[in-house]
Each structure stands twice: as C-alpha cells, then as structure tokens.
C-alpha cells in the first residue's frame, strides 16, 4: 500500500479507501469480515491439523492476526509486517504447526489491493488513473518473497527437511500467495476503473450543463438584440411619423394621412418580427436561424429602411456595389440590422440632415458603412466603441458589435473624418 497524504483526522490505506462515507463504511465491514474469517480459519486449522496448544497457542495467535487485519485499515504496511512477524514467531516457538503464508492472507490482500493514489492536503486524489502507481503491490511481493525464503531455510535447516520436502511444503503456499496477489491486483484495477468511469460521467454531465448554459446565454443575447432592433426602430419611426401627422393635421391633411399610413406599415412589420421571436421562445426546438428567414429582413429590405428615414425628414441615399445574390441569410440579416440600428440612431440622435448607406458585396466579405452629417450627437447612441452610449443606453452599438463578432467580422463606430457619425462593418462571407 502506498504512503498517502491524507487530510487531518482522515484515513488512507486499504481496499476501498477514498470513496466517500459509504465506501469507508463498506471497507470497514470488509475488514471486519476478513478479520473474523482469519480468526476462525486459524483456530480451525490448528484444531484439525496442528499439534500445538490450542487455548494458549492457537486462540491468541488467531485473535492477534484478526486484530492486525482490523488495524490494516489505517496502517496497512505495518499490519502486514506485524502479521508476518507473528506467523514467524508462533511457528518458530512451536505454538503453531499450520501455514507460513495463508494465515496472513487478509493482510497481504489489503496491502496489494490499495490503489496507491497520492492525495493532496484536502484529501483529493491527484492525477488520472494512468499516473497512479500501485506501490502496495511491490511491497507485498517483496514481503512475501522474504517470508517464503525464510520459511524455506527454516524448514531445511531447523526442521531438518531435505530440499524436496521443503519445496513440497512451501510450493503450495507460494502458489497461493501468487494467486492472492493477482486477485488483489484485479480487484484494485476494477475498482479504479469504476471510479474513473464515474468521474468521467460526472465531468461529462458538468460539460453538458456548461454547454447548455452557454447556448441559453447566446440565445438570450440573440433575442435581446432582435427585440432591441425591432422595438427601437419601430418606436423611432412611428414617433417621427406621429409628430409629422400632428403638425400637418390642420394644414395638410393628406401629408398627415401619409404619415399615419407609414406608421401603420412600420407597426405591422414590427408585429411580424415580434411574432417570429415569440415563436422561437415558445418552441425550444426552433432553429436559431428562424429570424434569418423572416421576409423583408434581408438585403432587399434595406431600401424600405432608407425610405422610412426619408419619410422622417432626413435626406438618405443608398450606394451598392457587387452582387448580393451570394450573401447567406445570417450575413444578410446582420447587414439589415446594422443598417436599421444605424439609421434609427441617426434619426434619434445625430441632429443632422443627411445619412448615407454604402454596401459593398465581395466574394469574401460584405462591407457596410453608414455615415451621417450630424453634430456628433450620434455618438450618444454609440460613441467611439460605444463609450458614449448615453442616450440609447449603449445596447444598439453593443448589439451590432455582437452580431458582427459572432460572424467573425470587424466592427467600428465613431466620429467620421468630416464630422458626424460613421458605423463600419466588414462581415466575411463563407466560401
């Protein structure tokens, strides 16, 4: 059995150690049973085949070996050495006539079956199974070899047996020792394999739980981004159109009606988006890309966003270059939401008169740039790297950055070269 470092007041040692309270109780029960079997076997063998005294020889001999088996739970190696010395002492004194090896079988087994796992200060096993050295087995083998050699010399030179008789007397016991140590090794390996299997299941369960938490967090952030973009844009456009309708209601009823119709259209679009999101929340099995498939939320819807900005009173233009046909749905939705959030911020915060959207569709990436000519208050919705996100709470720029980051792209938001505010994003297109 290995020398183990154990927590203060804890136990190391024999078979079954280190498996928790239940395993400790089970190991104690096994040692009690082994001690009882040892005592009964030794007394019975002495009564049947021995010629020494029974009450003053066999009974103390058996009880002493049984007590050492119980002590092996805390001091396995010392118990084995004491058991071997007890056998030698009683055989040498003529108080026992049966067995050199088998009376100490339980002590041999407990030492050889110890896993030898090194523990830290808290009693925690260190290292995987592959790094555990079963140092108890070599110790038991060494003690067994020494005991057999001593017994052979005793039988040969003290008891007066010739070489053939000595081999005949000890051969069966040497074979028994080999079988005993082999059984202890197999038991120890099986126990350690079960421990590793249980630990592996526990690690796998923890990893699955952590992965589930990460997936839930990613989905929560995705839904939060969608809600923010839909609600912020809808409220901004509807608010602007309602203000236009109120101001034009008396003097230009037709313009007021047009503004109200625009507000109704934007509201209907937002309701469709919210229903799609609610469908994702209600159905846990819904694919994460469900919102990407919503009609009008791709590149074809950018023109509608720009029209909405124009209806709000800002001059707006769109420049496109390249073919958008090869842009996948996730990238298209990200571009749409970036343009939507940037235009919303331009209407709400920039204080400017014009905003321009530039889209470049390449074979390897989509490049997006939205620039306004405001006084810089657009940073209030985003700021340089979102640092000045005061008016909008910063969620818009954070959401745009998360969208781009998830797709492996680059994002920047800050003051433009000629004033105003500029949002730039480069989103790679998978080949």
| Res 357: pLDDT | 92
Mean of the pLDDT values across residues 181-189?
87
Check residue 285 and give its pLDDT: 52
**Is pLDDT above 50 for 335?**
yes
Average pLDDT, rounded, for the chain: 74
Query: Which of 13-27, 57-71, 259-273, 323-337 is predicted least confidently?
Result: 13-27
Rounded to whole angstroms, how far apart are CA atoms 29 and 18?
15
Alpha carbon 33 to its chain centroid, in Å, reads 41
* Domains with residue ranges and CATH for the chain: 21-210 (no CATH), 302-431 (3.30.565.10)
pLDDT of residue 118: 38
30-34, 46-50, 152-156 — which is least confidently predicted?
46-50
Cα–Cα dist 64/58, whole Å: 10
Distant-in-sequence, close-in-space partners of 199: CB < 8 Å, separation ≥ 6 = none
Long-range CB contacts (< 8 A, 24+ apart) of 59-66? 61/86, 61/90, 61/95, 61/96, 61/103, 62/38, 63/39, 65/38, 65/39, 65/103, 65/104, 65/106, 65/107, 66/35, 66/36, 66/38, 66/39
Least confident of 177-186, 236-245, 340-349, 412-421: 236-245
pLDDT at 304 over 50: yes
Q: Report DSSP letters for 78-143, one per residue.
A: HHHHHHHHHHHHHHHTTS--S-SSGGGHHHHHHHHT-----B-TTS-B-S-GGG---THHHHHHHH
Using alpha carbons, list the distances in angstroms from residue 25 to 17, 72, 113, 117, 229. Answer: 9, 15, 17, 19, 61
- Asked if pLDDT for residue 14 goes beyond 70, the answer is no
Q: Is 270 exposed, middle or buried (0-12, 13-18, 19+ CB in 10 A)?
A: middle
Give the pLDDT band of residue 425 (cuts 50, 70, 90). very high
The answer, yes or no, to whether residue 326 has pLDDT greater than 50, is yes
For residues 71-84, average pLDDT: 86
CA–CA distance, 340 with 38 (Å, rounded to integer) = 84
What is the rounded CA–CA span in Å between residue 408 and residue 369?
17
The 10s digit of each residue's pLDDT in 235-288 is 776 777 677 777 777 777 777 777 777 777 777 777 776 776 666 565 555 544
Q: Which range has the worst mean pLDDT, 352-356, 384-388, 427-431? A: 384-388
- Inform me whether the pLDDT recorded for 391 exceeds 60: no
Q: Which residue has the higher pLDDT, 325 or 16?
A: 325
Coil, helix or strand for 356? strand
Give the strand pairing for 354-361 and 410-415.
Answer: unpaired
Q: What is the largest CA-CA distance in the chain?
A: 134
Name residue 319's beta-bridge partners.
358
Q: What is the mean pLDDT of residues 220-240?
A: 70
Q: For residue 280, give every residue at least 6 positions away whose Cβ sits within 8 Å of its Cβ, in sequence order, or none.
A: 223, 286, 290, 291
Reported confidence tier of residue 20, pLDDT bands at 50, 70, 90: low
| pLDDT for the residue numbered 131 | 41
| Residues constituting the chain | 431
The separation between CA 363 and the C-alpha centre of its own chain, rounded to angstroms, equals 38
What's the rounded Cα separation, in Å, for the pair 230 and 267?
A: 10
CA distances from 278 to 152, 153, 273, 301 (A): 86, 88, 9, 21
- Which segment of 114-123, 148-157, 211-220, 357-366 scores lowest on mean pLDDT? 114-123
Specify the pLDDT at position 254.
78
Distance of alpha carbon 309 from alpha carbon 350, whole angstroms: 13
Contact 15, 187 (CB under 8 A): yes
């Amino acid at each position: 059995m290995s020398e183990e470092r154990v927590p203060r007041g804890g136990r190391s040692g024999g078979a079954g150690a280190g498996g928790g309270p239940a395993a400790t109780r089970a190991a104690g029960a096994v040692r009690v049973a082994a001690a009882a079997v040892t005592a009964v076997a030794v007394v019975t063998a002495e009564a049947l085949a021995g010629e020494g005294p029974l009450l003053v020889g066999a009974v103390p001999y058996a009880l002493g070996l049984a007590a050492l088996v119980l002590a092996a739970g805390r001091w396995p190696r010392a118990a084995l050495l004491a058991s071997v010395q007890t056998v030698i002492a009683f055989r040498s004194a003529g108080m026992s006539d049966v067995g050199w090896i088998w009376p100490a079988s339980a002590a041999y087994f407990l030492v050889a079956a110890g896993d030898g796992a090194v523990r830290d200060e808290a009693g925690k096993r260190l290292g995987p199974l592959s790094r555990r050295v079963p140092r108890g087995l070599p110790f038991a083998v060494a003690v067994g070899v020494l005991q057999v050699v001593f017994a052979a010399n005793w039988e040969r030179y003290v008891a007066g047996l010739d070489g053939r008789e000595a081999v005949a007397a000890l051969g069966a016991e040497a074979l028994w020792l080999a079988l005993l140590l082999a059984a202890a090794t197999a038991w120890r390996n099986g126990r350690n394999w079960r421990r590793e299997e249980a630990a592996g299941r526990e690690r796998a369960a923890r990893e699955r739980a952590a992965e589930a938490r990460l997936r839930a967090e990613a989905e929560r952030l995705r839904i939060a981004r969608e809600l923010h973009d839909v609600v912020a844009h809808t409220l901004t456009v509807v608010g602007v159109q309602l203000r236009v309708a109120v101001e034009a209601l008396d003097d230009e009823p037709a313009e007021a009606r047009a503004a109200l119709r625009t507000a109704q259209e934007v509201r209907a679009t937002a309701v469709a988006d919210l229903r799609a999101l609610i469908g994702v929340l209600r159905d846990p099995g819904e694919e994460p890309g469900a919102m990407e498939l919503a009609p009008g939320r791709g590149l074809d819807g950018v023109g509608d966003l720009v029209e909405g900005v124009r209806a709000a009173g800002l001059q707006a233009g769109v420049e496109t270059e390249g073919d958008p046909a090869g842009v996948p749905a996730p990238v298209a939705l990200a571009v749409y939401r970036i343009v939507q959030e940037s235009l919303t911020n331009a209407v709400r915060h920039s204080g400017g008169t014009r905003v321009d959207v530039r889209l470049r569709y390449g074979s390897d990436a989509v490049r997006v740039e939205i620039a306004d000519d405001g006084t810089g208050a657009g940073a209030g919705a985003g700021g340089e790297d979102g640092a000045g996100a005061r008016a909008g709470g910063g969620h818009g720029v954070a959401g745009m950055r998360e969208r781009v980051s998830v797709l492996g792209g680059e994002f920047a938001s800050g003051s433009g070269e000629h004033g105003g505010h500029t949002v730039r994003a480069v989103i790679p297109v998978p080949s």
